[in-house]
């Protein structure tokens, strides 16, 4: 079946959104299409229908296709645990931890998983739209490459090269990348897409003509900069947003190993919420609700919180009546201790928690990966809100202690999380808990948002609207006849 790969001149050139746009454009025409990303490095991930784990951006592309995410769509996922090491996930399951040099040597074996997943998808769908990672011109990573041209050569598929004109130097990016490819790689590069253009296209056309003449390859089109576009990102935490008078103020620390920060996208969109991400050495503003996010390395990020002065800020926040919520790793931090006797997240050891909930977490082998649904308990949802919720669990820890007698939610008959007796502190293992408007409204009401305030955005509907915006740009701005020929449609 036809496969087309989208590669970028740089990280964040817009590969994810271009792939999502192409997938949505094809799916709207009834084409059986699936996304594919051979290798991804990201701390934002999603639980798949087959109980695996893939990058969150690939799950967004699956949504664009009208599909449930599957582990074959992202066969190699690297989740950084340090500056030089990562957890390696193959076809949705944890394979182990490796440092950078060990993984570089292992890539030839990982390629077998990549090709097996690609073949499995090719048997189920008519078209595969694949996404590269970083840049194909990273010379130091060319040996045993599985993320970019290494895959394209193995799958014998054409490549479209995406450049981000908003950053400047797009012609140098495109021509320079092409020059650094091998002869066979240049031959399979079918052309270019220029992304995030602002202004009058007439001013760009002389450059496009030069590019086509210089390289003998066509420009498939120029995509505009889409203001207000909010789609799932891989790792970058967006801090854009305007403060609103009278809104609920929510503060989230940007942990060094923050995971699944997409949990907060519905809050970024909420008309009654001011969301602030606080990075290292930044002042921590007063707020109504402080949320400790997920973490890929709970003990490491817990130490960082202490070094940044968060424990004192949290205690003062609670004295003045504020609310605190912990999600997954952030929930674990709220307890008295976090134990990692086998070094699953780093060094073997035990770290004292924030001591806000009477419980202890022990890291155990065998990651919990599942999609969940249920309702918030009466402690979190009053009679005016239904409290219906859904999301996914993704963690190693097992948490025990008296704090759990007041759970945060009931998930398919099982208790989850904890709520303090004074109702000021809560925690849960569920990611994506703000995606459902009913749960989002209930949690924000618990945190102090008045009932007459604007209600939560239906995040799933919003994501689909954003994907349709992207597909509309494909139809308007790209050479769709040329795309169809490339895809053998």
CB neighbour list of residue 31: distance below 8 Å, 6 or more residues apart: 126, 127, 489
Looking at residue 166, its pLDDT comes to: 93
pLDDT at position 19 over 80: yes
Q: Measured on CA atoms in the order 401, 405, 406, 411, is the torsion positive or negative?
A: positive
Looking at residue 164, its pLDDT comes to: 96
pLDDT at position 385 over 70: no
Check 23, 65, 157, 328 and give the catalytic one: 328
Secondary structure of the chain as H, E, C letters: CCEEEEEECCCCCCHHHHHHHHHHHHHHCCCCEEEECCEEECCCEEECCCCCEEEHHHHHHHHHHCCCCCHHHCCEEEEECCCCEEEEEECCEEEEEEEHHHHHHHHHHHHHHHHHHHHHHHHHCCEEEEECCCCCCCHHHCCCCCCCHHHHHHHCCCEEEEEEHHHCCHHHHHHHHHHCCCHHHHHHEEEEEEEEECCCHHHCHHHHHHHHHHHCCCEEEEEECCCCCCCCCCCCCCCCCCCCCCCEEEEEECCCCEECHHHHHHHHHCCCEEEEEECCCCCCCCCCEEEECEECCHHHHHHHHHHCCHHHHHHHHHHCCCEEEEECHHHHHCCCEEEECCCCCCCCEEEECCCCCCCEEEEEEEEEEEEEEEEECCCCCCCCCCCEEEEEEEEEEEEECHHHHCCCEEECCEEECEECCCCCEEEECEECCCCCHHHHHHHHHHHCCCCCCCCCCCHHHHHHHHHHHHHHHHHHHECHHHHHHHCCC
Q: Give the mean model confidence (pLDDT) for residues 358-367.
A: 93
How buried is 225 (Cβ within 10 angstroms: 0-12 exposed, 13-18 middle, 19+ buried)? middle
Instruction: State the pLDDT confidence band at 83, using cuts at 50, 70 and 90.
Output: confident
For the chain, what percent of residues have pLDDT higher than 90?
79
How buried is 113 (Cβ within 10 angstroms: 0-12 exposed, 13-18 middle, 19+ buried)? buried
- Residues 9, 211: Cα–Cα separation, whole Å: 15
Looking at residue 147, its pLDDT comes to: 96
Over residues 166-201, the pLDDT tens digits come to 989 999 999 999 999 999 999 999 999 999 999 899
460-to-1, 203, 466 alpha-carbon distances in Å:
30, 38, 10
pLDDT at position 66 over 80: yes
For the chain, what percent of residues have pLDDT higher than 70?
96
- Residues 98, 191: Cα–Cα separation, whole Å: 36
Higher pLDDT, 262 or 32: 32
Tell me, yes or no, if 462 is annotated catalytic: no
Looking at residue 243, its pLDDT comes to: 62
Higher pLDDT, 417 or 228: 417
Instruction: State the pLDDT confidence band at 234, using cuts at 50, 70 and 90.
Output: low
390-to-45, 132, 344 alpha-carbon distances in Å:
16, 31, 27
Tell me, yes or no, if 477 is annotated catalytic: no
Check 70, 270, 395, 431 and give the catalytic one: 431
**The two three-digit tokens of residue 15, written as one number:** 């590969």
In angstroms, what is the C-alpha Rg of the chain? 23
What's the chain's average pLDDT? Answer: 92
Instruction: State the pLDDT confidence band at 387, using cuts at 50, 70 and 90.
Output: confident
Over residues 311-341, the pLDDT tens digits come to 999 999 999 999 999 999 999 999 999 999 9
């Amino acid at each position: 079946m036809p496969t087309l790969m989208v590669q970028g001149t740089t990280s964040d050139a817009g590969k994810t959104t271009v792939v999502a746009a192409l997938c949505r454009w094809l799916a709207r025409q009834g084409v059986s299409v699936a996304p594919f990303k051979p290798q991804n490095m990201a701390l934002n991930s999603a639980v798949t229908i087959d109980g695996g784990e893939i990058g969150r951006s690939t799950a967004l592309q699956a949504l664009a296709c009208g599909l449930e995410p599957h582990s074959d769509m992202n066969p190699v996922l690297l989740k950084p645990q340090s500056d030089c090491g990562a957890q390696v996930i193959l076809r949705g399951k944890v394979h182990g931890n490796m440092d950078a040099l060990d993984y570089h040597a292992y890539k030839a074996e990982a390629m077998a998983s990549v090709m097996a997943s690609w073949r499995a998808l090719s048997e189920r769908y008519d078209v595969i739209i694949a996404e590269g990672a970083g840049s194909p011109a990273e010379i130091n990573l060319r040996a045993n490459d599985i993320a970019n041209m290494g895959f394209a050569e193995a799958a014998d598929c054409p490549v479209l090269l995406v450049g981000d004109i908003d950053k400047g130097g797009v012609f140098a990016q495109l021509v320079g990348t092409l020059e650094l490819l091998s002869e066979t790689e240049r031959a399979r590069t079918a052309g270019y897409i220029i992304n995030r253009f602002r202004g009058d296209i007439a001013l760009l056309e002389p450059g496009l003509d030069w590019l086509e003449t210089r390289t003998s390859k066509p420009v498939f089109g120029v995509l505009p900069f889409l203001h207000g576009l909010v789609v799932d990102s891989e790792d970058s935490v967006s801090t854009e947003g305007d403060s609103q008078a009278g809104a609920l103020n929510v503060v989230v620390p940007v942990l060094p190993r923050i995971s699944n920060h997409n949990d907060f996208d519905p809050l970024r969109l909420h008309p009654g919420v001011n969301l602030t991400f606080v990075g290292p050495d930044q002042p921590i503003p007063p707020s109504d609700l402080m949320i400790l996010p997920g973490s890929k390395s709970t003990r490491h990020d817990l130490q960082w919180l202490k070094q940044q002065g968060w424990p004192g800020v949290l205690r003062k926040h609670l004295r003045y009546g504020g609310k605190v919520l912990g999600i997954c790793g952030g929930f674990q931090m709220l307890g008295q201790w976090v134990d990692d006797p086998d070094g699953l997240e780093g060094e073997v050891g035990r770290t004292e928690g924030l001591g806000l909930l009477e419980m202890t977490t022990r890291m155990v082998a065998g990651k919990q990966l599942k999609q969940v649904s249920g309702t918030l308990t009466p402690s979190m949802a009053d009679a005016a809100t239904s409290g219906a919720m859904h999301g996914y669990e993704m963690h190693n820890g097992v948490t025990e202690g008296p704090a759990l007698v007041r759970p945060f939610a009931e998930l398919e008959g099982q208790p989850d999380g904890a709520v303090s007796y004074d109702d000021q502190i809560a925690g849960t293992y569920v990611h994506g808990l703000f995606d459902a408007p009913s749960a989002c409204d209930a949690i924000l009401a618990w945190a102090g948002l008045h009932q007459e305030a604007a209600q939560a955005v239906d995040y799933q509907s919003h994501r689909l609207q954003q994907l349709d915006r992207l597909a509309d740009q494909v139809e308007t701005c790209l050479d769709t006849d040329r795309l169809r020929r490339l895809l053998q449609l």
